[in-house]
Amino acid sequence: MQHGDTYRRHRPRRLRRTAQMRRLARETTLAASDFIYPLFVTHGATGPVPSMPGVMRTDVATCVALAREAATCGVAGVLLFGIPTTKDGRASAAGDPVGPVCQAVRALKDAALDLAIVTDVCLCSYTDHGHCGLLQNGVIDNDLTLPRLAQVALAHAAAGADMVAPSGMMDHMVATIRQALDHDGWTGVGILSYSAKYASAFYGPFRDAADGAPAFGDRKSHQMDPSNVREALREVALDLAEGADMVMVKPAMAYLDVIRQVRTRWPEVPLAAYNVSGEYAMIKAAARLGLADEKLATLELLTGIKRAGADRIITYHALEASSWLQA
């Protein structure tokens, strides 16, 4: 037998010959249960978000209707963001027990939908200056902000949230929230921490939707430098030590290596990736311009995020992607 015949036995294309063979050999499969669907709820003006086709600011009833649709599709959870009608320096409306988020959480609980209810915990939509923390002499005071974040988390827990998701990248936010929840008896309420959240150019449309752009300056004093990955591992390690139940990398598309490194270092830890507003808007724009097939491009990107190591993907495409996966 010629040496050449030995390697000619190997024909990787056999596994790609038919759709059935490809499915047999598939390594990563997407499902609706991989997705978490973000929702924007308000007592103010409702309607479409211009920079995010298909995304709406909703009242409580519409929020529940969309969540019901998500549950019917098999989506794993919803992530609620509130848009308050008043903003001030103290973010007074954050954690308001009769504000839109707490009302929506109660309504979702009453509806007994088959999905998890997660709430964003940050101050940026509630402060008149748009920063994620309380200011002291024009700069964010980390430790002054922590008790406010704990209050917000407690309000969401009391309304019935299954999990709170602190997104402000304040040091010790997870420990502070965990301690407050446990102290008040909410030991069963989980924490999904935005552990490695980068100072990204891809949050623009979200800031439109949630009306949370900083009035001055930027978020680089708390969100991470896109150049760093070792720092992300340190952030994740600290959040796990502080009691995070699930950690997150955000955004997703430009940070697949970060997702992979977190997954490799902590094979056992539940990991979410946030496929953010700018990533969503980019695909919608490309599709509108005829530059990409939205369904194929979206499913490819979501598959890539999962293949990189994410267990769950927070995505505005959750409903559409779920319906494409069923078709």
Positions that interact with ligand PBG (CB under 6 A): 120, 122, 124, 132, 167-168, 203, 206-207, 212, 219, 276-277
* Positive or negative: CA dihedral 60, 66, 68, 74: negative
CB of 211 to ligand PBG, least distance (A): 11
Strand partners, 127: 88
Whether 250 sits among the annotated catalytic residues: the reply is: yes
Report the DSSP pairing between strands 139-140 and 246-250: unpaired
**CA–CA distance, 283 with 291 (Å, rounded to integer):** 9
| C-alpha closest to that of 179 among 155, 222, 146 | 146
CB of 23 to ligand PBG, least distance (A): 32
Measured at CB, which residue is nearest to ligand PBG? 206
* Residue 277 amino acid letter: S
Catalytic position from the list 87, 250, 284, 306: 250
Q: Which is nearer to ligand PBG, 113 or 132 (CB)?
A: 132
- Indicate the burial class of 10 (C-beta count within 10 angstroms; 0-12, 13-18, 19 or more): exposed
Q: Which is nearer to ligand PBG, 80 or 159 (CB)?
A: 80
The 10 Å CB-count burial string (b at 16+, else e) for 28-41 is eebebebbbbbbbb
**CA–CA distance, 157 with 102 (Å, rounded to integer):** 9
Q: Which is nearer to ligand PBG, 190 or 212 (CB)?
A: 212
CB of 57 to ligand PBG, least distance (A): 14
| C-alpha closest to that of 153 among 110, 109, 105 | 105
Whether 87 sits among the annotated catalytic residues: the reply is: no
CB of 39 to ligand PBG, least distance (A): 12
Residues noted as catalytic: 197, 250
